[in-house]
Structure 1
Amino acid sequence: MSEPLTFIIAGALDQRTGGYIYDARIVEALRQEGRTVDVISLSGRFPNADQEAAEQLATALNNLPEATDVVIDGLAMGMLPDIIVQQAKRLMMTALVHHPLGDEQGLSESEQQQFHQSEMTALAAVSQIIVTSRFTERRLKVLANHYAMPIAATISVVEPGVDVVPMNAAPIPGEPLRFVCVATLVPRKGQDVLVQALAGLNQKNWQCDCYGGARDAAFAERVEQLIEAHGLASCVQLHGECDAATLTQAYKSAHALVLPSWYEGYGMVVTEALARGLPVITTTGGALDETLPEGAGLKVTPGDVKALTQALSRFCDDPELRASLKAGAEAVRETLSDWQHAGAAFAKALNPAPSFHNGSQFEADWLTLREEADVTFRSQQLPQKAAIWLNERTQTPRLVDLGAGRGSNMRFLMPFLPPPQHWTLIDHDAELLNDARDSIGKLENAQAGIRVETLCTSLDSLVHVPLQDADLITASALLDLVSQDWIETLVTHCQARDQALLMALSVTGEWGFTDADDEPLSDDDDHWLQALFMAHQHRDKGLGDALGGQAHETLVNALEQANYQVEQVATPWLLSSANRLHRPLMTALINGWAEAATEQAPEAATRIGEWRERRTHSVASGEVGIWVGHCDLLATPEKRA
């Protein structure tokens, strides 16, 4: 049985806009898949939230048990980042973004910046993000870069589905052409542009019916005035908000959908029209350029009255063009997915299966996934002792982080160590170091005396790695990858320069599963799989024959022979079966162990796959937890007389 899901929205779920229809259909599809979904509708003003809205969201989240799965529509959270940041620490929070709030038409530059920065702050705190188009995915990344507010969460794209409906008939020669516009009356939808474009048509053998609630009274009045001023009252009708049956009939009798929007995060009405084989005349605003495939309609630049007039005129005047566009729409119709498919994709996005492959994206995803566990279980005592040692040695400590990745080790250690600090982050992966620079830049600005530089180079030979000026060399989760020669080279280097070592979360090679009381389980298949995994750990990972779980003990022995004072602290990950926040990491571990075992013994792939499936299911159902052995150490040189 899957875990219950809470879906939070601003206002009632039955509102007739694309965003609310999407939310409602996803909720329906998830329930049809057997998922329990509780919908919470918030009162108050959104998105520019008032006090009532803030209190409603805070209360709704406070009332949820720890580790609850919760999806929050972006309209309900974007301007309340403080509440999101606070609650994201205890809830499995997914943001559903239809389009960035700051991209709404009619905002001043300062208002746009305020919306963008507030929403990006909230998104930086959530576990996952789901968007409704590839365009919005790219747009969020552009905003993250523009405002220097990186998003750590995985962004998944789940496009809307469509209903299976009968195909519209082509217009009968000589009958008036009927355009339908389905969009709320707000400036972003551009009905004022549409009316002006229609007024430019020479022919009058057409009718345009506009459906959508007047969400902006001043704009609705402007559109009505334009209709009256251009003498179009007999052929342009504003019908207001309507029910599903009325809209179905409107689509059925139409010959083309017209959507003059300045910007859309997806444009669901476009695919609703295409599902009926109905051509579309729209703009290239936002995602619309991608939502409408070529050959199924006409696209113009947003706000260009003349271009829209020309497109409408071509459609009215050219029967061959109409036939061609209708054929194109009918061809697209066959490629569209239904809402059940969208619901399945949404469910998969909520519970992603981490994949273990080489490359920066894998590394970034894995490092993000493990960072919270690293912070929770690693030693704080040893960094405090390192700070005392550094204070006695120098007023400006220089620190080198080997295999720094995205900089999480530095971010953890920095508060423990005396300022000023000069850090050098070293990694072979330039993309990860770029991520580190993005996240650390604000730390340098916020805290005086913090200086950080990065170096992209291989760690296979320490000869060319600039360690000479370091007072303390540190690394996290690195040792299992290195060879004995590598460790001996490092210790020799440190001994010659009286440098300290602070190594965190070095795996000991031991791991296993635990029951509901967090007691270790003994299972023959687990032991068999573990043996394959440990054998795989001794393969060359680019730093020589890897020591795997033996690396920590090898380093301790080498340091003691070099007359170092060595302090060790056991720091195992204890991932509880009862803590749902740990389950994505546990799933990732199972997948990683299974893939390593398969590389080691490909002939046993079937048995390994069965083991993976059994253990993944037992984690997902809350039957078992996982423990992984780690050890931290601080090594300081013997004081010389």
Structure 2
Amino acid sequence: MQRLTFIVAGAPAQRTGGYLYDAHIVAQLRHGGWQVEVIGLAGRFPDADEVARDALRATLSSLADDSLVVIDGLALGGMPETVAPHAQRLRLIALVHHPLADECGLETDRVKRFERQETAALQSMRGVITTSRFTARRVAGMGIDTARIAAVEPGVAPQPLAAADHTPPRLLCVATLTPRKGHNLLVEALACVADLDWQCDFVGNASRDPDHADRVSALIRTHGLANRIHVHGECPEAGLHAAYAAADLFVLPSYYEGYGMVISEALAAGLPVLTTTGGALAETLPPGTGLAVPPGDSEALAQALRRLLANPAERLALRDGARAARVRLADWTQAGATFATALERLSGLPPACPSSLHPDTLFDADWLALRRAADHAARDPRLNALAADWLARRDHRPLRILDLGTGSGSNPQYLAPCLPGPQRWTLLDHDSTLLVRAVETCRSLNDRDGHALTVEPLVAALQNLDASLLAGFDLVTASALLDLVDERWLQRLAEACREAGCALLIALSVDGNWRIEALDNTDSARQADATEDAFVRAAFNAHQRRDKGAGRALGPDAAPRLAALLRAQGFSVQLAPSPWQLAAATPAQVALARALLDGWREAATEQRPEAHARIADWHRHRLSELAHGRLRIEVGHLDLLALPPSRGAG
């Protein structure tokens, strides 16, 4: 008998599309002889809180080695660091209805965070099952091997056939009241056709985003449509079937769907459909069964409504098309069998490498470009000169240089022209996309003596540092890396450098000190600001010490600790400050300053969620000062140079 643990976010019995998909699949697997345990996790999702992390950690820890586990994407995407330790011993499969970052109405920083986190989480999985071919392509675009992806589209339950010929016509929208579903657009469009005769029912959970639900209700009242648009909330299955049977036109105005199960449910009732082309909806609606308009376009939606409401013959023709398509819909028995086959194939794959893409080691190319000028301006030239002098005395050429965690190649771009040549660089990173760009850029560089660089890429994870990586190199370099690792990693690095006899030049390790100064503030205002800065800084530094995939990170303590470990290995070590100096009066630095403030807020809020209001107030205040050109920011870093003892020393 096949055994499966199926993990979802919150109560499994919720009646949204994603939860209903999960419930139908579980029922079919059980019918096919599988033993399935469904576990609903406590806590907040997808912005996972500590309750959610603890719940997932406890659940995974309780499972025996080699257990087969499906984790719904809503429960998985925000907690890659929680699943990564179990990726090698459990057969983990992700179920993705749609990527978290595709939800509408998200702030830019949340979109980027969800992208980083979910990409890292999916990289930990043996495989990913999606609910549509569209979402499968989206997941492949996140760097997941297509061989590890399977699409299992929903089935449909039998529905009573709707007459769909009432006067006045009754419209039905079945969707959770969240911004992505577009209820506000539908209200605006219905207001444009208020001269026609119709009634409309909204069926769906209003508790997921109560503020948005309140805004939709207020919009209905504003347009004077309270006696024509009826908001019913969530319905049990029998009530939902009755709603489909009583309708004449199904409307789903979503901005985006990972599949759109309700479209198939409407077709199963023989209802014509008016929807959008958002996401997978462009592929979900069969030809001749309805109309699809661009997402987010209330005017186009209103025109389509007028066309179908004012022309009953066209609406009835689409109804007949829906009735014809009804018999071609797959049922849940077929979906369950396809899901079981996908599970068996994907779970038999070798484990993925979860440690290679922890969310805090994924860096957006825009962020790397944004910080490049500040990085280069901050670096200590004296340490660079000492490294160049040491390399110039090496008795072989070309000089071999290894750049760890190269990202977009900013470190070799800065260093190569400062060092003697010829130089042969190996750029190492776990992000192959960034690595390709870095190699292309660095191949156009020259060393200090005018030689073109030889550059080669190396795709590898750094979390488990292999000493053999350093063999044969003269110099090992890195930038903004040390704060991500733990003491054991630093010890391995120090020992590997001693064994290889190479020098080490590590730049821009955060030291935990940053200072914000508002020009022209009074002393009392400065003191109040300093108190709030200190609170946020403490939360941020605590967040820096979390596990980043290589043990509990040392964060701001990393550079001094590495210096001590290297000295114990006989190295001559120097530390030098390399602070960023940012001024709001300098346009080129404003974007970086804003990104810093956003990042500090995000990390501090994640560390201290109970203080989110206080941190948000601090963030708004500092952004306002930045916008008015009154802010200076200093961010402390340390550069480290370690020169090895001679081979005869020690």
Please indicate, yes or no, whether the TM-score normalized by the shorter chain is above 0.5.
yes
Quick check: 1:295 aligned with 2:288? Answer: yes
Q: 1:72-115 deviations in whole A, cap 9, x for unaligned?
A: 00000101111121111211000000000011111111110111
Give the counterpart letter for 2:325 in structure 1.
Answer: V
Describe the superposition over 1:617-637 as per-residue Cα deviations: whole angstroms up to 9, x where unpaired: xxxxxxxxxxxxxxxxxxxxx
- Partner residue of 1:87? 86
Aligned residue identity for 2:317? S
What residue number does 1:385 align with?
none
Say whether 1:20 aligns with 2:19: yes
Report the residue type matching 1:97 in the other structure. V
1:260 aligns with 2:253: yes
Helix, strand or coil at the partner of 2:338? helix
Shift of the 111–40 alpha-carbon distance from structure 1 to 2, 3 Å rule, reads same
Separation (CA, whole Å) in 2 of partners of 1:193 and 1:321 = 23
**Superposition deviation, residue 218 in structure 1:** 1.4
Superposed, which structure 2 residues align to 1:33-182 within 5 Å?
33-144=32-143, 151=145, 154-172=148-166, 175-182=167-174
Same amino acid, percent of matched pairs:
49
- Say if 2:165 and 2:316, in contact at 8 Å, map to a contact too: no
1:371 and 1:396 mapped to 2: Cα distance?
Answer: 32
Alpha-carbon displacement from aligned partner over 1:466-498 (angstroms, at most 9, x marks no partner): xxxxx9xxxxxxxxxxxxxxxxxxxxxxxxxxx
Alignment of 1:165-564 (within 5 A): 165-172=159-166, 175-214=167-206, 215-352=208-345, 438=433, 453=456
- How far apart in 1 are the matches of 2:303 and 2:90? 52
| Structure 1 spans left out of the alignment, 5+ residues | 145-149, 356-364, 373-390, 400-419, 426-434, 456-470, 472-641
CA contact (8 A) 1:17 1:184 kept: yes
- Whichever residue aligns with residue 34 of structure 1, its letter is G
Aligned residue identity for 1:66 = D
Q: Distance in 1 between matches of 2:346 and 2:98?
A: 26
Structure 1 residues 443 and 66: CA distance shift in structure 2, 3 A? farther
Maintained 8 Å contact 2:205/2:234:
yes
CA 1:7/1:392 → structure 2, altered by over 3 Å: closer, same or farther? farther
For 2:264 and 2:59, how far apart are their aligned partners in 1?
Answer: 34
The residue type paired with residue 44 of structure 1 is G
C-alpha displacement of 1:165: 2.4
Deviation string 1:481-526 (CA, Å, 9 cap, x unpaired) is: xxxxxxxxxxxxxxxxxxxxxxxxxxxxxxxxxxxxxxxxxxxxxx
Q: Is the 8 A contact 1:191 1:260 kept in 2?
A: yes
Deviations 1:587-618 (A, max 9, x none): xxxxxxxxxxxxxxxxxxxxxxxxxxxxxxxx
Matched position secondary structure for 1:7: strand
Q: What SS class does the counterpart of residue 52 from structure 1 fall into? A: helix
Using the TM superposition, name which of 203-212 and 124-133 deviates more: 203-212
Contact 2:401–2:426, Cα closer than 8 Å, also in 1: yes
* Paired residue secondary structure (1:351): helix
Shift of residue 437, structure 1, vs aligned partner: 5.1
Q: Deviations over 1:56-86 (max 9, x none)?
A: 0000000000110000000001011111211
Aligned with 2:141: secondary structure? helix
Structure 1 position 334, deviation (Å): 1.7
Measure, in 2, the Cα distance between the counterparts of 1:278 and 1:188.
23
Aligned with 1:239: secondary structure? strand
Distance (Å, rounded) in 2 between the aligned partners of 1:209 and 1:370 = 46
Q: Tell me the distance in 2 between the aligned counterparts of 1:67 and 1:393.
A: 51
Q: CA deviation at 1:125?
A: 1.0
TM-score (norm 2): 0.55
CA displacement, residues 411-447 of structure 1 (integer Å, 9 cap, x when unaligned): xxxxxxxxx986799xxxxxxxxx99549659989xx
Please tell me whether the aligned partners of residues 123 and 151 of structure 1 are also in contact (alpha carbons under 8 angstroms).
no
Secondary structure of 1:285's counterpart equals coil
- C-alpha distance in 2, partners of 1:21/1:7? 14
- TM-score (normalizing by structure 1): 0.56
Q: CA deviation at 1:392?
A: 13
CA gap of 1:371–1:209, structure 2 versus 1, over 3 A, is: closer
Superposed displacement of residue 170, structure 1? 3.5
Aligned residues of 1:282 and 1:299 also touching (Cα < 8 A): yes
Q: Tell me the distance in 1 between the aligned counterparts of 2:225 and 2:401.
A: 75
Partner of 2:562: none
Aligned CA-pair RMSD = 3.4
CA contact (8 A) 2:93 2:346 kept: no
**CA-CA distance at 1:302 after TM superposition:** 1.3
Rate the CA distance shift 1:122–1:436 in 2: closer, same or farther, 3 A. Answer: closer
In structure 1, C-alpha distance between the alignment counterparts of 2:66 and 2:298, rounded to whole Å = 51
Q: 1:452 to 1:273 in 2, by over 3 A?
A: farther
Structure 2 letter corresponding to 1:19: G
Alignment of 1:568-587 (within 5 A): none
More deviation, 188-197/159-168: 159-168
Q: Could you tell me which amino acid in structure 1 is paired with residue 94 of structure 2? A: A
- TM-fit CA distance, 1:260: 0.8
Distance 1:28 1:443 in 2: 49
- Aligned equivalents of 2:35 and 2:424: distance in 1? 51
Amino acid at match of 2:18: G
Kept after mapping to 2: 8 A contact 1:77/1:119: yes
- Structure 1: how far apart are the matches of 2:86 and 2:397? 41
Whole-angstrom distance in 2 between the partners of 1:371 and 1:258: 43
Which letter maps to 1:182? V
Distance of aligned partners of 1:314 and 1:63 in 2 relative to their CA distance in 1, 3 Å threshold:
same
Asked whether the 8 Å contact 1:124–1:151 carries over to 2, the reply is no
8 Å Cα contact 1:124-1:153 kept in structure 2: no
- Equivalent AA in structure 2 for residue 193 of structure 1: L
| Deviation digits for residues 397-423 of structure 1 (CA, Å, limit 9, x no counterpart) | 799xxxxxxxxxxxxxxxxxxxx9867
Unaligned runs of 5+ in 2: 355-393, 403-422, 442-446, 448-452, 459-471, 473-650
Q: Whole-Å Cα distance in 2 between the matches of residues 198 and 225 of structure 1?
A: 15
Q: Contact 2:134 / 2:258 at 8 angstroms: preserved in 1? A: yes
SS in 2 for 1:180: strand
**CA contact 1:160–1:342 (8 Å) conserved in 2:** yes
Structure 1 residues 55, 421: closer, same or farther in 2, change over 3 A?
A: farther
Structure 1 stretch 203-212 or stretch 60-69: which is displaced more? 203-212
Q: For residues 436 and 90 of structure 2, what CA distance do their matches in structure 1 show? A: 28
